[in-house]
Amino acid sequence: MYELDDDVPVEPHLSEAPFRAGPFVARGLRSYHARTWREIYQSGPLPASREWLNIVTVDVEDAGAQAFNRWYDEVHVPEILTCPGWIANARYECVDGEPRYLAVYDLEDDERPFSSSEWQAAVGWDEHVEHLRGFHGFRIYRQVFECG
């Protein structure tokens, strides 16, 4: 993940196939997926150093997007952040492709956040399942390098 200082205009040619596959295949990458995201919501105290992240991506139909965002920001994130081990959340909307939404959660570690009864009760898409086009991931990442 790279953080950009300003709103950077997305050049159309950067999302086309030759750019996406060309130079990176030669470097031995099997799967390269780059997108540009605009932050739309943030909650909780973002740590100075982000060691453990939970990344969730999802596509939502236009018809359900407004209700989904309201629920995610006003209900889901507050519930999750009261669970043990969950520190902060930032949400983003993709400006150059899909998946449409990205949620980044800061975690204390890779076990405690997923082992509480509070998390079991809060996790899920509730009434928004019918508007989801695709749930692309629920992954845990650990920082291995920090630049800057």
What residue ranges define each of the domains in the chain, with the CATH number in brackets? 37-142 (3.30.70.100)
Q: What is the DSSP letter of 27?
A: T
Report, as an integer, the average pLDDT of 66-82.
92
Kindly tell me if the per-residue pLDDT of 93 is higher than 90: yes
Q: What is the DSSP letter of 57?
A: E
Kindly tell me if the per-residue pLDDT of 21 is higher than 50: no
Residue 142's pLDDT band (cuts 50, 70, 90):
low
Residue 59's pLDDT band (cuts 50, 70, 90):
confident
At 74 the pLDDT is: 92
Residue 148's pLDDT band (cuts 50, 70, 90):
low
Q: How far apart are CA 81 and CA 115, in angstroms?
A: 14
Cα(first)–Cα(last) distance of the chain, in Å?
Answer: 13
Q: How far apart are CA 67 and CA 131, in angstroms?
A: 10
Kindly tell me if the per-residue pLDDT of 64 is higher than 80: yes
